[in-house]
């Protein structure tokens, strides 16, 4: 059970990392400045969670 | 402190209005308002608070993203068009049954994701096409899609307004399934039959020609298995809680999505679809992140307390008489932010006055999404007219056609508010 | 917009975002890793950790200190825990006063100051809590971590779709799987919060605890406030304590509530049901937790004064009175100290041969007169072996 829980927890970090990756790609690709700013703001909690800071 | 909190509210309102005037999108205007209020309150930029606030709905965002990914995979595999075609082929001679099953199809995406936009984007066009071929005018079709999408967003298991408000009130999100089910099913069926009952029987060939073809190998087992997995995992967590590992809803949706990927008759590029899903959800995830920041700043500065105080000191009779207006209008203005802002103090007030909090919150959580047709945000209303390529007038045709079913739903919810204790037998699930 | 201008905006935004990540990240880490020094009092004979009673927790974020104050004279055993909900500061402050000052004349006193360490390493998103609060002492200022009601998601992620309590199978809110006062009696292979409770149950059993006290604070909008919540086995003690304290010591009365039999996961229910210990839970009023509160800051946390909460009181929306004097931390800690002392006295009277005699702890009036900080020892002046970190 312990190992399984660890795997599940790790998959949540992986999911967060994937979302962060898509956001970074979108920030790079977008040609709309408002989108770029909004995507950057959304990125913040994902980065801090992946780094296990918050 | 009353004056200070009042000034904070004015700063938020004015900055939001200025941002909107200068064509900032709702999320950025809201963020700007939060930052302006934070600067006024602290005399600097409280970075830790702004960042901490962005975590408020982090887990809700993950549920939202993974649920939409699942629905998108069902769509991309041809599952949804398969279901719609099967319903038409099987029931085209029975208008009542066709409308009933189409209502059911419209309810699934929003019920699972908690977002009306998910319904509009995944099944809106398909069902809309069928409805038009059933002799329903384009205006009525748009109204049906919007209202059923709103009801689907409010339908269980995922009702984001109820989840956010319950979390704020330290109240378990348990027992809401049945009241939400009764309210949303009644609302969506009334809408569908009130607006769609009259019309010719559809010409099967014409409709089938118009609808896209699903892959030949698609069948009920392929499309049904992922939904079965989803239901089984949710039920297993409740039936065998001490032996099942804790999966959490996002992981359950991921497993269901992987099942759909495996069962899909055509090869799906899951990474590509996941990327597109996240891209399409960015505005909605964005609003949740920004609402969290705004709520944190309002809590910090006392503005949240002032609103709560204003709400809880209103007479109950006044609330019964006005909530059917206040809740949709505030949703149009602030989107999901209204759930923690108005919902939490309202729950406290009603609870304290001896009303059944679960029935009360269920009723409110069905009233809120109705406001998604109202300006300035009108997220689901706008998505509906864009997706259906509706050319009529937004207010005079589309909104006007929605009014009677809207009045019915809001009236029903008001009855639930007033008679919450008598209806408490509905609590469960 | 030109490409060049767009790129400039993107770069500026990124710089701002990275700066906010660094600033906030440093603040979050400083909070999570901050250690509070505790000077073990004259009667502390041993300091164990929760991991000594349940090995899987050893060295983990949940491995809080367990202070054992043994008089060496046979008697009963009382177990006092603070910090179940680290957003309720009067609880860990009271427990710390006991750990630093108590002199045991008979029996044994066991103390956990930070019962849920994990929850003390995070503040609640959306609620704008201060990360720390400072208490003035005779030798300077002592800084404490503010915490949350729930364990840190970094230590327990994800939450279930619905939390099903072990072993009752009662369904509770999903996040309450991280709420230590919903996870009693704990589960050996459960979530970290369930494991914490399991560890504490081991303490209760191994140390033969007779009386268990769980300290809490509550918002004034919540009906269970200014009260002693008692398991059936402790109702007589609680009733007598409430009567005596209201009559002799407190300006505002303290009530008694019976632990509901159908509500599971709470310490007053489960410890009484799953061990031989009598289980009690004390509540003091904390206006900081009220939803209608005004400005959220350290001042409100410690002074407990809030005009919005007062206004709510005027509308009859509160379960406890509040005036311009508010509910300062000294009053709240004073109530917890006196309630604990009164309960132990009544315990001694009603359980001869199982007495726990505690001395050198300030009563309600003393804490109000001298302030909470007066009772904290200076770790810089203490011998290193006496200093422990929470």
Domain ranges (residues) in chain A: 18-54
Do C309 and C281 meet the contact criterion of CB atoms below 8 Å apart? no
The answer on pLDDT for C69 being more than 80 is yes
In the block, tokens 């007066």 appear at: C374
Say whether the ipTM exceeds 0.90.
yes
**Smallest Cβ distance to A38: which of B51, B248, B286?**
B286
> Alpha-carbon distance B179 to B412, whole Å?
12
Strand order through the sheet with C255-258: C44-49, C65-70, C108-112, C77-81, C211-218, C278-285, C227-230, C255-258
Structure token digits, residue B401: 């056609």
Write down the mean pLDDT value for chain C.
96
* Over residues C114-140, mean pLDDT: 97
Question: Which range (B28-37, B345-354, C212-221, C228-237) has the least confidence?
Answer: B345-354
Report d(CA B186, CA B183) in Å as an integer. Answer: 5
Chain B from 304 to 363: CB within 8 A of any C CB:
305-306, 308-309, 312-313, 340, 344-345, 348-349, 352
pLDDT category of residue B340 using cuts at 50, 70 and 90: confident
Contacts B427 to C, Cβ<8 Å: none
Percent of chain B exceeding pLDDT 90 equals 61
Of C202, C201, C203, C210, the residue nearest C75 (C-alpha): C210
**Residue B88 above 90 pLDDT?**
no
pLDDT score, position B390: 92
Measured CA to CA, the distance from residue B10 to residue B23 in angstroms comes to 20
Question: What's the CA gap between A19 and A22, in Å, rounded?
Answer: 5
Please give the Cα distance from C171 to C263 (Å, whole number): 10
> Residue C288 has what pLDDT?
97
pLDDT of residue C60: 97
Chain C closest-CA separation from residue B306 CA (Å): 7
Residue B153: is its pLDDT beyond 80? Answer: yes
Q: Please name the chains neighbouring A, where neighbouring means 3+ C-beta pairs under 8 angstroms.
A: B, C
Residues near C336 by Cβ (< 8 Å), separated by ≥ 6? C90, C91, C94, C215, C282, C284
Give residue C190's domain range: 34-389
Q: Is the separation of the CB atoms in C384 and C142 below 8 Å?
A: no
B258-315 pLDDT per residue, tens? 999 999 999 999 888 988 888 888 887 898 899 899 989 999 999 999 988 988 888 9
Contact B79, B223 (CB under 8 A): yes
The count of CB pairs under 8 A between chains A and B is 72
Average pLDDT for residues C224-250, to the nearest whole number? 96
At a CB cut-off of 8 Å and minimum separation 6, what does B140 contact?
Answer: B131, B195, B196, B401
- Count the neighbouring beta carbons within 10 Å of the beta carbon of residue C319: 18
Q: What is the pLDDT of residue B210?
A: 84
Whether C347 shows a pLDDT value over 90: the answer reads yes
Taking CA atoms, C366 is separated from B153, B184, C121, C284, C369, in Å, by 57, 59, 31, 17, 5
Selected for mutation to probe chain C from A10, A16, A33 (highest C CB count within 10 Å) is A33
Position C182 pLDDT exceeds 80: yes
Residue C54 maps to a domain: yes
For B421, phi then psi, to 5°, come to -70, -40
- CB of B280 within 8 Å of a chain A CB? The answer is no
Q: How far is C293 from chain B (nearest CA, A)?
A: 5
Local confidence band at B142 (pLDDT 50, 70, 90 cut-offs) = very high
Task: Give dist(CA B258, CA B400) in Å, integer.
Answer: 42
Q: Which pLDDT score is estimated for B283?
A: 80
The distance between the two most distant Cα atoms of chain C, rounded to a whole number of Å, is 86
Its pTM stands at 0.90
**How many CB pairs below 8 Å do chains A and C form together?**
49
Interacting residues of C291 by C-beta distance below 8 A, sequence separation 6+: B168, B169, B305, B308, B344, B345, B348, C219, C221
- Cross-strand bridge partners of residue C37: C389
What residues contact B396, with CB distance under 8 A and at least 6 apart?
none
Identify the three-state secondary structure at position C80.
Answer: strand
d(CA C296, CA B299): 6
C21 contacts A48? CB cut-off 8 A:
yes
Considering only CB atoms, which chain B residues are within 8 Å of A39?
282, 286
CA dihedral (B321, B323, B324, B325) positive or negative: positive
Assigned token pair, B3: 């004056």
Q: Which of B47, B59, B300 comes nearest C23 by C-beta?
A: B47
* Residue-wise burial string across C147-175, b where 16 or more C-beta atoms lie within 10 A, e elsewhere: bbbbbbbbbbbbbbbbbbbbebeebbbbb
* Residue of chain A with shortest Cα separation from B291: A42
- Domain boundaries, position B217: 3-426
- Residue B395 pLDDT more than 80? yes
Residue B402's alpha-carbon distances to B118, B190, B381, B393, B406, in angstroms, are 20, 12, 11, 13, 6
Q: Is B5 in contact with C127 (Cβ distance < 8 A)?
A: no
Per-residue pLDDT at B34? 97
Please determine, for residue C222, whether its predicted confidence score (pLDDT) is greater than 90: no
Answer whether residue C229 shows pLDDT above 90: yes
Q: Which residues contact C335 (CB under 8 A, 6 or more apart)?
A: C90, C226, C245, C250, C254, C282, C284, C364
CB nearest to B2's CB, from C157, C172, C307: C307
pLDDT at B342 over 90: no
| Residue C9: inside a domain | no
Q: Which residues of A touch C24 (CB under 8 A)?
A: 44, 48, 54
Smallest CA–CA distance, residue B127 to chain C, in Å, is 31
3-class DSSP state of C219: coil
pLDDT of residue B298: 94
pLDDT confidence of residue B281: 83
Q: For residue B352, what pLDDT is reported?
A: 84
Q: Which residues on C lie below 8 Å from B241 (Cβ)?
A: 160, 164, 166, 169
Contacts of A53 in chain C (CB under 8 A): 25, 28-29
Calpha distance B420→B323 (Å, rounded): 15
Helices (H), B368-399: 379-387
Q: How far apart are CA B429 and CA C116, in angstroms?
A: 31
Cα(C83)–Cα(C99) distance, integer angstroms: 13
CB neighbour list of residue C123: distance below 8 Å, 6 or more residues apart: B52, C31, C87, C129, C130, C131, C146, C147, C148
Non-local CB neighbours of C102 within 8 Å, separated by 6+ positions: C41, C43, C69, C109, C358, C359, C360, C361
Residue C56 inside a domain? The answer is yes
Q: Who among B58, B245, B274 is closest to A5 (CB)?
A: B245
Give tens-digit pLDDT for B36-58. 999 999 999 999 999 999 998 89
Q: C touches which chains (3+ CB pairs under 8 A)? A: A, B
Ramachandran angles phi, psi of C40, nearest 5°? -60, 130
- B289: chain A residues, CB-CB within 8 Å: 41-42, 44-45
Contact C29 A53 (CB under 8 A): yes
Of B24, B254, B285, the CB nearest to A34: B24
Residue C25 in any domain: the answer is no
Pick from B37, B53, B246 the residue to mutate for testing the C interface (most C CBs within 10 Å): B246
Q: Which of chain B's residues have a Cβ under 8 Å away from the Cβ of A2?
A: none
**Averaged over B389-397, what is the pLDDT?**
92
pLDDT of residue B152: 96
Distance (Å, whole) CA C280 – CA C230: 5
User: What are the DSSP calls for C140-199, one per residue?
Assistant: EEEEEE---SS--TTTS----SSEEPTTT--EE-GGGGG-GGGSTT--TTS-HHHHHHHH
Half-sphere exposure (Cβ direction) of B279: Cα atoms closer than 13 Å: 14
Could you tell me which residues are beta bridge partners of residue C109? C69, C78
Q: How far apart are CA C44 and CA C102, in angstroms?
A: 8
Distance CA B17, CA B24 (A): 10
Task: Tell me the mean pLDDT in the region C325-339.
Answer: 98
pLDDT value of position C207: 98
Residue B340: strand, helix, or coil: helix
Distance CA B159, CA B164 (A): 9
- Is the pLDDT confidence value at B377 over 80? no
Test mutation, C129, C158, C198, chain A, max A CBs within 10 A: C158
The confidence band for C206, taking pLDDT boundaries of 50, 70 and 90, is: very high
Stated as kind and residue range, the H or E segment containing C45 is strand C44-49
- Give the pLDDT band of residue C226 (cuts 50, 70, 90): very high
Q: How many domains does chain B have?
A: 1
Q: Does B61 touch chain C (CB under 8 A)?
A: no
Nearest partner of C127 among C147, C99, C107, judged by Cα? C147
Q: Using alpha carbons only, how large is chain A's radius of gyration in Å? A: 14
């Amino acid at each position: 059970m312990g190992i399984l829980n660890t795997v599940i927890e790790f998959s949540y970090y992986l999911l967060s990392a994937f979302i962060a990756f898509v956001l970074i790609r979108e920030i790079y690709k977008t040609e709309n400045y408002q989108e770029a700013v909004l995507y950057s703001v959304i990125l913040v909690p994902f980065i801090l969670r992946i780094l296990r800071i918050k | 402190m009353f004056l200070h909190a009042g000034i904070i509210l004015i700063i938020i309102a004015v900055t939001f209005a200025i941002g909107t005037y200068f064509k900032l999108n709702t999320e950025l205007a809201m963020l700007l308002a939060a930052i302006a209020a934070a600067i006024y309150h602290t005399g600097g930029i409280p970075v830790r608070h702004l960042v901490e606030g962005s975590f408020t709905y982090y887990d809700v965002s993950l549920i939202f993203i993974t649920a939409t990914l699942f629905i998108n995979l069902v769509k991309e595999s041809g599952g949804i068009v398969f279901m719609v075609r099967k319903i038409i082929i099987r029931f085209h001679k029975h208008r009542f049954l066709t409308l009933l099953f189409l209502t059911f199809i419209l309810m699934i995406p929003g019920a699972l994701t908690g977002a009306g936009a998910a319904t509009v984007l995944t099944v809106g066009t398909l069902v809309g096409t069928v409805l038009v071929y059933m002799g329903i005018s384009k205006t009525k079709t748009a109204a049906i899609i919007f209202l059923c999408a709103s009801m689907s967003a409010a339908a269980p298991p995922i009702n984001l307004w109820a989840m956010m408000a319950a979390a704020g009130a330290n109240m378990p999100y348990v027992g809401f399934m049945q009241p939400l089910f009764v309210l949303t099913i009644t609302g969506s069926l009334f809408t569908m039959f009130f607006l769609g009952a009259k019309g010719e029987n559809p010409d099967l060939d014409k409709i089938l020609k118009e609808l896209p073809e699903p892959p030949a190998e698609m069948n009920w087992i392929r499309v049904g298995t992922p939904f079965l997995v989803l239901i089984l995992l949710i039920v297993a967590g409740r039936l065998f809680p001490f032996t099942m590992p804790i999966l959490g809803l996002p992981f359950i949706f991921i497993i269901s999505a992987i099942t759909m990927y495996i069962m899909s008759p055509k090869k799906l590029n899951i990474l590509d679809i996941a990327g597109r899903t996240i891209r399409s959800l960015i505005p909605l995830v964005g609003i949740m992140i920004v609402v969290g920041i705004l709520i944190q700043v309002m809590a910090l500065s006392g503005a949240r307390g002032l609103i709560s105080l204003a709400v809880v000191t209103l007479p109950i009779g006044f609330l019964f008489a006005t909530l059917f207006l206040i809740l949709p209008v505030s949703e149009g203005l602030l989107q999901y932010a209204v759930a923690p802002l108005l919902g939490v103090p309202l729950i406290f007030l009603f609870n304290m006055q001896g009303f059944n909090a679960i029935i009360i919150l269920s009723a409110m959580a069905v009233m809120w999404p109705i406001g998604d047709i109202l300006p300035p945000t009108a997220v689901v209303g706008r998505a509906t007219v864009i997706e259906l390529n509706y050319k009529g007038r937004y207010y005079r045709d589309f909104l006007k056609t929605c009014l009677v079913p809207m009045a019915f739903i809001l009236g029903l919810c008001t009855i639930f508010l007033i008679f919450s204790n008598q209806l408490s037998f509905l609590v469960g699930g | 917009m030109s490409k060049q201008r767009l790129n400039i905006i993107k770069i500026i935004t990124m710089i701002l975002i990275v700066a906010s990540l660094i600033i906030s990240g440093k603040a979050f880490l400083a909070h999570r890793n901050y250690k509070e020094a505790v000077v073990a009092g004259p009667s502390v004979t041993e300091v164990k950790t929760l991991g000594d009673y349940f090995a899987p927790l050893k060295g983990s974020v949940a491995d809080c200190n367990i202070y054992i104050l043994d008089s060496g004279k046979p008697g009963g055993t009382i177990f006092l825990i603070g910090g179940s909900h680290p957003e309720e500061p009067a609880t860990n402050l009271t427990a710390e006063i006991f750990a630093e000052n108590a002199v045991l004349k008979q029996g044994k006193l066991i103390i956990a100051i930070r019962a849920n360490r994990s929850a003390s390493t995070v503040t609640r998103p959306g609620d704008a809590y201060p990360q720390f609060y400072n208490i003035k002492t005779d030798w300077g200022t002592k800084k404490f971590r503010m915490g949350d009601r729930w364990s840190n998601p970094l230590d327990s992620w994800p939450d279930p779709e619905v939390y099903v309590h072990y072993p009752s199978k009662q369904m509770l809110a999903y996040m309450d799987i991280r709420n230590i006062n919903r996870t009693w009696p704990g589960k050996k292979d459960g979530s970290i919060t369930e494991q914490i409770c399991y560890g504490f149950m081991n303490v209760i059993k191994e140390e033969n605890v007779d009386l268990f006290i769980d300290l809490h604070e509550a918002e004034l909008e919540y009906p269970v406030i200014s009260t002693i919540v008692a398991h059936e086995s402790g109702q007589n003690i609680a009733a007598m304590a409430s009567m005596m304290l209201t009559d002799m010591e407190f300006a505002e009365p303290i009530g008694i509530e019976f632990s509901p039999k159908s509500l599971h996961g709470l310490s007053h229910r489960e410890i009484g049901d799953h061990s031989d210990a009598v289980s009690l839970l004390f509540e003091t009023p904390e206006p900081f937790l009220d939803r209608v509160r005004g400005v959220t800051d350290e001042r409100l946390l410690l002074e407990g004064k809030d005009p919005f909460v007062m206004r709510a009181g005027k509308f009859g929306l509160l379960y406890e009175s509040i005036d311009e004097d508010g509910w300062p931390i000294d009053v709240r800690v004073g109530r917890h100290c006196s309630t604990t002392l009164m309960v132990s006295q009544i315990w001694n009277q009603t359980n001869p041969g199982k007495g726990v005699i505690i001395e050198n702890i300030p009563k309600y009036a003393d804490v109000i007169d001298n302030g909470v900080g007066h009772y904290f020892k200076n770790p810089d002046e203490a011998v290193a072996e006496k200093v422990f970190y929470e």
